[in-house]
């Protein structure tokens, strides 16, 4: 590809995907959602211990507990509808058991850890010293608060998409082979078909003990970080990053180079 064309593509990708604060941008990439109201995002990430530091009367409005309450309700609604539509042969009791197995603190804390939510939380110094950033209950509650914030910011459709992608996919993976889909191959084909080169995957973080590692991988396209994925292996994290990159590219497809005719 000519240098001038590469330079123009670099500028285009940076303009489309690279113009937001680093921390907010990183979380947006991990969530595959960009908040319009940043105050909602900040509240969702604020633990009660940190809210107390701003004054006793401000605790309820500043902490994420009210958003957690709302997010729990949204999660329950979306999950119940999903189970109702996908398990027509199950009665009410069986559906309730499926819901309990799918939506609980263990599952939600695992989802929160996989997207690296803990490092974005706002905690008091004391809670930080006590390991609150890694406590299952705190990060699970924060994830529900985040769902509540997404619902208020983007509506039920946005919240549903996030829940289906991050939570309910754990159920669908049991009954389909979609979890084994090669998103990296599809992304490579997409880029090369438009003369946009080859994606590059970079290890951003590696956390946890040897028996329970969690990796965060970024996918770079012409020098621009397009998406970030997290998983229990580098391969899984790369596949998730590739899937999110494809979604991001397709949202801006009308501004990207057209496919090269063979």
Tell me the catalytic residues: 72, 144
257 pairs with which residues across the strands? none
What would the two tokens of residue 88 be?
């027509």
Q: How far does the chain reach from its first CA to its final CA, in angstroms?
A: 16
Decide if 190 contacts 249 (C-beta within 8 A).
yes
Whether the CA torsion 13, 183, 142, 76 is positive or negative: it is positive
Give the integer Cα–Cα distance in Å for 51 and 70.
Answer: 18
Decide if 246 contacts 34 (C-beta within 8 A).
no
Strand order from edge to edge, sheet including 200-207 = 200-207, 214-221, 224-231
């Amino acid at each position: 590809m000519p240098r001038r064309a590469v330079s123009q593509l670099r500028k285009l990708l940076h303009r489309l995907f690279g113009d937001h604060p680093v921390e907010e941008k990183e979380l947006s990439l991990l969530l595959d959602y960009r908040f319009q109201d940043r105050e909602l995002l900040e509240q969702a990430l604020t633990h009660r211990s940190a809210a107390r530091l701003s004054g006793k009367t401000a605790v309820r409005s500043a902490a994420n507990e009210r958003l957690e309450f709302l997010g729990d309700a949204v999660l329950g609604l979306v999950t119940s509808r999903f189970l109702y539509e996908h398990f027509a042969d199950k009665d009410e009791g069986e559906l309730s058991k499926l819901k309990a197995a799918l939506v609980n603190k263990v599952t939600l804390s695992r989802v929160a850890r996989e997207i690296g939510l803990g490092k974005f939380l706002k905690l008091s110094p004391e809670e930080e010293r006590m390991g609150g950033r890694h406590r299952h209950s705190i990060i699970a509650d924060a994830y529900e608060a985040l769902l509540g914030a997404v619902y208020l910011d983007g509506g039920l459709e946005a919240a549903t998409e996030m829940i289906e992608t991050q939570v309910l996919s754990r159920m669908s993976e049991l009954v389909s082979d979609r979890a084994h889909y090669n998103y990296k191959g599809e992304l490579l084909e997409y880029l090369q078909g438009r003369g946009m080169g080859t994606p590059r995957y970079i290890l951003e973080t590696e956390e946890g003990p040897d028996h329970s590692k969690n990796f965060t991988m970024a996918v770079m396209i012409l020098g621009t970080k397009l998406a970030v994925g997290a998983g229990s292996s580098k391969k899984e994290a790369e596949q998730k990053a590739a899937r999110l990159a494809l979604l991001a590219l397709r949202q801006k497809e009308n501004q990207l180079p057209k496919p090269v005719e063979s």
